[in-house]
Amino acid sequence: MSHTLVVGSTVIPYEVRESSKARAMKIVATPAGVEVVAPPGTAPEAVTAYVERRRRWVFDAVRELAARHEALLDQQYGSGAKLQYRGRWLMLDVQPADVEEVEIACRSKLHVRVPAQLVGVARHESVRAAFDGWLRTRARDDLDRFGRKHAQTLGELEGGLAAAPVAEPEAT
């Protein structure tokens, strides 16, 4: 069940989970969200009171995680970051542009054009998602080209050719 903690103008959603292993309540803050782990049968009022007592810690933890997450995304998907493509590490050149969606072109480096209105985490997340889709499209194209090139040698394959799930791209 989802709850919210309000600290000033900041609204922090959190989930409550009961655990038979828990002897006392604890708050876990991750980039995915905030979770309160409580022993079974803990009254909802007790959980709310516990979160209110720890409100400053929750606020600071969420803010710190958001800052670290944004810095990590900037390191991975900002201009100057390097991503691996076909065994080579290529530098990203991310530029704002008058485009509707993220565009990627590969020459001597990965040229990425993002909508000018996107900034911060939204910009990095959109670059990450676009790069993931771009890689998947390239892998499908390569698989089709391989299939056509080697069709005579391979003969008729039952079920055709299929690609395994693509792993998350590595970044430095």
For 72-112, how does the pLDDT look when each residue is reduced to its tens digit (9 = 90+)? 665 577 788 887 888 888 898 989 999 999 999 988 899 99
CA 106 – CA 82 distance, rounded (Å)? 13
Give the pLDDT confidence of 27-64 residue by residue, as tens digits: 999 877 899 999 999 999 999 999 999 999 999 999 88
Query: Furthest-apart CA pair in the chain: how many Å?
Result: 71
What's residue 158's pLDDT?
59
CA 172 – CA 25 distance, rounded (Å)? 38
What's residue 128's pLDDT?
84
Other CB atoms within a 10 A radius of the CB of residue 86 amount to 10
More confident call, 14 vs 81: 14
DSSP readout, 73-128? HHHHHSTT-EEEETTEEEEEEEEEES-SS-EEEESSSEEEEEETT--HHHHHHHHH
CA 37 – CA 26 distance, rounded (Å)? 5
What's residue 121's pLDDT?
77
Please state the rounded mean pLDDT for residues 153-168.
63
What's residue 58's pLDDT?
94
Three-state DSSP at 154 gives helix
What's residue 172's pLDDT?
44
What's residue 72's pLDDT?
63
Query: Which pair of tokens denotes residue 69?
Result: 């997450």
More confident call, 80 vs 162: 80
Query: pLDDT at residue 166 above 60?
Result: no
